[in-house]
Structure 1
Amino acid sequence: MNEILYLVIPCYNEQEVLPETSSRLKAKMSGMIQSGLISPDSRVLFVDDGSRDSTWELISKYHEQDPLFSGLKLAHNQGHQNALVAGLMQAKEHADITISLDADLQDDTDAIDKFIAEYYNGCDIVYGVRSSRATDTVFKRTTAVGYYRFLKLMGVEIVENHADYRLMSKRALEALARYDEVNLFLRGIVPLIGFRTSVVEYERHERFAGESKYPLKKMLALAMDGITSFSVKPIRLITTLGVIIFLVSVLALLYLLIIKLMGWTVAGWTTVMGSIWALGGIQLLCLGIIGEYIGKVYKEVKHRPRYIVDTFLNK
């Protein structure tokens, strides 16, 4: 009991939500400290991912006013996943437990007590899983369900309806640190660690203020990372598709030879043009999928740092 907990919260242009977020998290952490659930050395670690507004100024002010708040400033914007890993790796040096959550108050903070309880029951990783998607639009709900099913079809091990709201023990973080790939998809990496895991269900709230930092474009990019980082099935599908098209072309050739020998004359313009467009589209699609993998290999072999820390505030 009485372990040191760090809440790790990536922030990008979150000046509108930070006042309310810091207030609620302070009340939550103070209550757990007073009850003896966590150590007084526990902290709320805000990670500024190269924000362009006053996010870092607010983090610095909270740190000066109360040592409960810590701040980590990255040299420039590296993306949510890299910012989250930066915070987790920094927290690993000071904490026994970390819980990652978003700054927009959509993750139910009341579930934190359940996370801690599961940890004390022997779990190294606890996943926060949404109990429903009632707050999502029909489009987002439909695409999310389809995405998780598609990932499983591609052979990716992933916890359905789980984002990045999770608890990780120090031992689990040390194991995570051994995954040094540049293309990060934590929802796929963490299940690979192993160790004992558990699930805590929670209701996801509406965003308190501001706009989502994950528009459709970023969601699609994250989805592509999830597929291409953990599965080679798309490449194998290309091979299968190539074999099928080859067999179909052989049958088509035999058919054309037969009708020619029988003296039938068919204009065939529509068939020829349709075949050209179809095959051209398939070839471009296949090249695009191969290009995604080559691009990932290109990024990995350069082995550039995933993030660079500018400032770390911690009392």
Structure 2
Amino acid sequence: MPLTACTHDRQQTDRSSLMTTLNLIVPCFNEETALPETSVRLLALLESLVRKGVVSDASMVTFVDDGSHDQTWRLIEAFHATNRRVNGIKLSRNRGHQNALLAGLMTAPGDVLISLDADLQDDIEAIPHMLDKHRAGADIVYGVRHKRNTDTLTKRLTAKAYYWLLQKLGAEITPGHADFRLMSRRAIEALRSFKEANLFLRGTIPMLGFQSAVVEYERQARLAGESKYSFANMCALAFDGITSVTARPLTWSTRVGAAISIASVCFGLWALAVHFFTNRALPGWTSIVVPMYFLGGIQLLFLGVIGGYVSKIYTETKQRPHFIIERTLIASMREPARTVRPVGEHEALTAGARNP
């Protein structure tokens, strides 16, 4: 009987080793209020996928702490201590969402990696559908928001304008897609070949050229806490995205400059014609001040665009790392799965960490 049980366990292990090993990559920055519920939901999803035979029993979750100032890392340590499926990566300082995400993608194991935000606005119910697309042959599966009902009208309009502008500039980008995506190991290894310091993942990953697919989902309300992206941060990300994936703004500045020069020549010829062939006098202040301010604004605008590209060159020459890892927590997948600790216990741990 023990021999039969041992053989059965070995057969289960062999079958599991042939399945896809899934790793959920979750960047975190000051997410102590959201992480307890997030961990429970993600681990429950993994257990469900394992039971159904969709993914290997070696599947896991990797939380990446992007230099948080609260108890985020303490919670990740607690999750790791109580569940074999939890990995942790702690960056030495805050490097920004894109670099934290890149740290997870470049260092985490697994056949398939799915990145998602810690607030679970990315609907985890879409993950099984993403895995279906992967089994059908897609190396990259983009999670695309079906609607943006949870966003303000201003954010919806600016997002639509941003994606429209990126497409007009020739960037290969999927409208409605942020960083909720599936990537195969082959796609991850190909991403390593992109060495630039300013790596804009939303624009770079489509350049890999592998077969891709789209899964639509409904954007959820934020689980807890508040967004870490201010309006200024979103504008900076938008500008960084444009200058990372295309040089067309420089071409546009040349064209606009040429058009203004032609218009100025035409205006000058018209002014001379009025002076020599008519008795009318041109309005003085209006005809001088308005074009002067207009041209000054255009010059400053394109000087800023050029400065953006020059700053990228400056950053590239330094060859600084995208991130520095201070500590890692590696799950031991040979141990039996432990019970997921209830949310209340994690909340108690957080309270205790604040009041030792």
Tell me, yes or no, if structure 1 residue 127 matches structure 2 residue 148: no
Q: 1:163 aligns with which of 166, 174, 178?
A: 178
CA distance, structure 1, for counterparts of residue 281 and residue 28 of structure 2: 68
- The aligned residue for residue 165 of structure 2 is 150
- The aligned residue for residue 284 of structure 1 is 300
**Deviating 4+ runs (over 3 angstroms):** 262-267
Instruction: Give, in angstroms, the shift of residue 35 of structure 1.
Output: 1.7
Q: 1:37 aligns with which of 54, 58, 80?
A: 54
Segments of 5+ residues of structure 2 without an aligned counterpart are 1-17, 332-356
Q: 2:264 aligns with which of 238, 249, 253?
A: 249
Matches within 5 A, 1:123-272: 123-262=138-277, 264-272=280-288
CA distance, structure 1, for counterparts of residue 280 and residue 147 of structure 2: 61
Q: 1:3 aligns with which of 14, 20, 24?
A: 20
- The aligned residue for residue 110 of structure 1 is 125
Segments of 5+ residues of structure 1 without an aligned counterpart are none
Instruction: Give, in angstroms, the shift of residue 265 of structure 1.
Output: 3.6
Identity over aligned pairs, percent: 50
Contact 1:184 1:225 survives alignment (8 Å): no
CA distance, structure 1, for counterparts of residue 273 and residue 261 of structure 2: 19
Between 1:259-268 and 1:32-41, the stretch displaced more is: 259-268
Contact 1:124 1:168 survives alignment (8 Å): yes
CA distance, structure 2, for counterparts of residue 256 and residue 116 of structure 1: 68
- The aligned residue for residue 100 of structure 1 is 115
Question: CA 1:119–1:274 in 2, change beyond 3 Å: closer, same or farther?
Answer: same
Instruction: Give, in angstroms, the shift of residue 255 of structure 1.
Output: 2.1
Q: Matched residue pairs, number?
A: 313
Q: 1:71 aligns with which of 82, 85, 88?
A: 88
TM-score under structure 2 length normalisation = 0.86
Question: CA 1:132–1:266 in 2, change beyond 3 Å: closer, same or farther?
Answer: closer
CA distance, structure 2, for counterparts of residue 235 and residue 71 of structure 1: 42
Contact 1:63 1:313 survives alignment (8 Å): yes
CA distance, structure 2, for counterparts of residue 65 and residue 73 of structure 1: 18
Q: 1:23 aligns with which of 6, 15, 40?
A: 40
Q: 2:328 aligns with which of 289, 302, 312?
A: 312
CA distance, structure 2, for counterparts of residue 227 and residue 307 of structure 1: 22
1:299 corresponds to which letter in structure 2? Answer: T
- The aligned residue for residue 310 of structure 2 is 294
SS at match of 1:106: coil
Instruction: Give, in angstroms, the shift of residue 26 of structure 1.
Output: 1.1
Deviation per CA, 1:148-202, whole angstroms, max 9, x where unpaired?
Answer: 1111001111011011101000000000111111112111111110111111111
TM-score under structure 1 length normalisation = 0.97
CA distance, structure 2, for counterparts of residue 24 and residue 266 of structure 1: 72
Instruction: Give, in angstroms, the shift of residue 310 of structure 1.
Output: 0.5
User: Rg larger in 1 or in 2?
Assistant: 2
CA distance, structure 1, for counterparts of residue 117 and residue 26 of structure 2: 6
